[in-house]
Amino acid sequence: MEIISEIKKMKDYVAEKSKKGYRIGFVPTMGYLHEGHLSLVRRSKKDNDITIVSIFVNPTQFGPNEDLDRYPRDFDRDEGLLRNESVDVIFYPDVKEIYPDNYMTYVNVEKITDRLCGIKRPGHFRGVATVVCKLFNIVKPERAYFGLKDYQQVLVIKKMVEDLNMDVDIVPMPIVREEDGLAMSSRNVYLSKEERGSALSLNRSFLLVEELLKNGVRDSKTIKDKVSDFILGHPYTKIDYVEIMDPDNLEYLEDIKGNFLLALAVFVNKTRLIDNKIFEV
């Protein structure tokens, strides 16, 4: 396994492998890896000849009062996990390598970013789209793998790839959960034992929704109110959003007439967690 930190060396490596006809799979991450990330790595290993994993905590997707400085980092741990998975390359650039002095260019995907995390975290998806665009240009993968816990992010990246005619296939992968049902996240490390118990209310609210649907409830406001009340019945919780949306385009739904996405963002004390589920109706 190679560790590359310079853009030129990364591009040279890719050019050499591509010249030999190798298919390149790419898993972009911010590090502090968990089983969710590793599921993407394993799928990439299955689909491609070369798998490259980037580790870069992207400052442009964090707001001024968010957790950039305390975001968990442990490169030695991540390196060991990726070595065990037989990853070919870790791309591990520093901030100056990605955003040199006098950097001025950003990517902005419109409309689908003006809701959910796009409202609650202004500038977040501008930062996400920009860094992913740059990484795609550096790594030039045939396929790139993203987890559906960040459902809106997956749609944003797919739209960027479509609109900018990028030659990369986006492969969405299912949410990976802890044994107790909590969606895996690098931020779960912030949670105390008591807070983790409250965090389980996100996933458990899905059972409530299934029961409401069985009883014939189809009004989205009723479902959202019931979910909010259920989550807020647990200590330390504060709702950031509870929304019911079309899973294809993230349009808000008032009356449920078909499949829908329930998207959640909840603060458990100071830790912001997201989760989602598509319900079939």
**Binding site for ATP: residue ranges?**
30-37, 147-150, 176, 184-187
| 185-206 b/e (C-beta count within 10 Å ≥ 16 → b) | bbbbebbeeebbbbbebbbebb
DSSP 172: E
The whole-angstrom separation of Cα 5 and Cα 38 is 21
Closest CA to 44 of 65, 71, 70, 24: 24
The whole-angstrom separation of Cα 235 and Cα 214 is 28
Residues that constitute the known binding site for (R)-pantoate:
61, 153
Q: Helices in the chain by DSSP H: which ranges?
A: 7-19, 35-47, 75-84, 95-98, 117-120, 124-139, 151-163, 193-214, 220-232
Q: What is the CB neighbour count within 10 angstroms for residue 260? A: 23
The whole-angstrom separation of Cα 170 and Cα 146 is 7
Query: Which candidate in 25, 26, 37, 157 is catalytic?
Result: 37
The whole-angstrom separation of Cα 221 and Cα 226 is 9
Cβ atoms 53, 36 nearer than 8 A: no
The whole-angstrom separation of Cα 140 and Cα 16 is 12
Cβ atoms 155, 132 nearer than 8 A: no
Q: Is 37 a catalytic residue?
A: yes
Q: Which residues are catalytic?
A: 37
